[in-house]
Structure 1
Amino acid sequence: MEIKYLGHSCFRIKGKNTTVITDPFAPELGFTPGKQTANIVTVSHQHNGHNYTSGVSGEFRVVSRPGEYEIGDAILIGLPSFHDSEKGLLRGKNVIFVISVDDVVICHLGDLGEPLSESKAEELGNVDILLVPVGDMSALNANNAARLVRQIEPAIVIPMHYKLPQGTRELEPVEKFLGEMGSSGVVPQPKLVVTKANLPLPTQVVVLEAGTA
């Protein structure tokens, strides 16, 4: 499996037979994802930084609601959550997606804005790769993101939704999260290629460069 970070909260997850795009963003966010094709597009909530499905090519299925889905050889579970710590009163609802492709379990938290209870965290199951927002503003900040990582204990954590040079959103830089995780020396890499057999132990922080390759 190959994971590529396209910017903001958008990733391309490419398995042997299935490609998933998460939270595609509108052009005004400042990123240029290039021409991306997919079989599945997940949308965590209906904001323009996360629901720009018209920017994706191919005959894909959009998944934007809680529930269980089997599409091709991918299994997705959407779990309800909130975009803020006030039960959605400020920013509404958010959907967490647990995506199983090629036997690897990836959890995309969307714009999660609340801590997870132990029971809600247990609903995620055994997460191999956690895609977590870390830049505050409309989601978790660095400190709360780091706490959540320790709660879920994935093999790999990849930060998202943080300040990037080309981005237009006023978010915190990823360095704050890396400091909270004790991983300040992490060097960004173009993509992550991983299989179930080579997952690390204990949790490893991976920072991915935002781009289109």
Structure 2
Amino acid sequence: MPDIQYLGHACFRLRGRDGIVLCDPYNRTIGIDMGRPTAHIVTVSHDHPDHNNVAQVRPMRERLFVVEGPGEYEVGGIMIGGVTTYHDKLKGAERGRNIVYVIHLDEIVFCHLGDLGHELSQSQLEAIGNVDVLFIPVGGGETIGPAEAVNVISQLEPRVVIPMHYASPQLSFDYPLEPLERFINELGHKEVSPEDKVSLNASNLPAEGEETRLVVMRSSV
């Protein structure tokens, strides 16, 4: 039963029976400090300070296993697939590539979209495959915004959606981000109660064919 902890911005800590995966650790220059979280594995979607502060993560073994590119990885029983996408709508001409990670942890498939800047192609959808839990940027700026995020959710049809990379009073960027409420409204929800920590297993996921569940997480930092 993996536990999900939200460390703010686009950073999540996934703890399963075979280890801990930390996604997109950020630098404190964005206005918040994630502290010194522990992990066995770190995934990095792209080399920007708000997604690639590996040095601040404490390894739980002799060394930290860092995944920062496309391909298939197996680390201590945890399977991770990296799929190449882009940080803009021009196939990386403006901001470069972005790696989407598909993480298999305790029979649940997590997908972290990083700073995805476009809707997904058919080949990218096939490479990603079936998704149980989707971490998706929704704030626009240098990623997809609320309306595009809803379209990507329709493409992937995950069982659970957890939004990330949206405006908050603490964050400091050179570009504006959309508030979370705009995405929630775009998705057709009126109000959502934030959760501190989420634990998932096959029995408490929506069944196949049921409506995707929206989960909003409160940052622990």
TM-score tier by shorter-chain length is: over 0.9
Question: Structure 1 stretches (4+) deviating beyond 6 angstroms?
Answer: none
2:105 aligned residue (86, 98, 101): 101
1:52 aligned onto 2:53: yes
Deviations 1:90-127 (A, max 9, x none): 00000000000001000000000011123321221110
| Matched residue, 1:129 | 133
1:207 aligned residue (195, 216, 219): 216
Task: Using the TM superposition, give the Cα deviation of residue 129 of structure 1 relative to its aligned residue in structure 2, in angstroms.
Answer: 0.2
Letter aligned with residue 148 of structure 2: N
Alignment of 1:1-213 (within 5 A): 1-58=2-59, 59-169=63-173, 170-200=176-206, 201-212=210-221
Deviations 1:62-99 (A, max 9, x none): 00010000001210000001100011010000000000
Aligned-partner Cα distance in 2 for 1:47–1:121: 24
* Mapped contact 2:27–2:33 kept (Cα < 8 A): no
Task: Using the TM superposition, give the Cα deviation of residue 191 of structure 1 relative to its aligned residue in structure 2, in angstroms.
Answer: 1.4
Unaligned runs of 5+ in 2: none
Aligned-partner Cα distance in 1 for 2:7–2:157: 24
Secondary structure at the counterpart of residue 151 of structure 2 = helix
* Mapped contact 2:85–2:124 kept (Cα < 8 A): no
For the aligned residue pairs, the C-alpha RMSD in angstroms reads: 1.0
Task: Using the TM superposition, give the Cα deviation of residue 32 of structure 1 relative to its aligned residue in structure 2, in angstroms.
Answer: 2.1
Task: Using the TM superposition, give the Cα deviation of residue 176 of structure 1 relative to its aligned residue in structure 2, in angstroms.
Answer: 0.9
Aligned-partner Cα distance in 1 for 2:190–2:14: 26
Matched residue count: 212
Task: Using the TM superposition, give the Cα deviation of residue 165 of structure 1 relative to its aligned residue in structure 2, in angstroms.
Answer: 2.0
Aligned-partner Cα distance in 2 for 1:22–1:3: 11
Q: Which TM-score applies when normalising by structure 2?
A: 0.93
* Mapped contact 1:32–1:211 kept (Cα < 8 A): no
Task: Using the TM superposition, give the Cα deviation of residue 34 of structure 1 relative to its aligned residue in structure 2, in angstroms.
Answer: 2.4
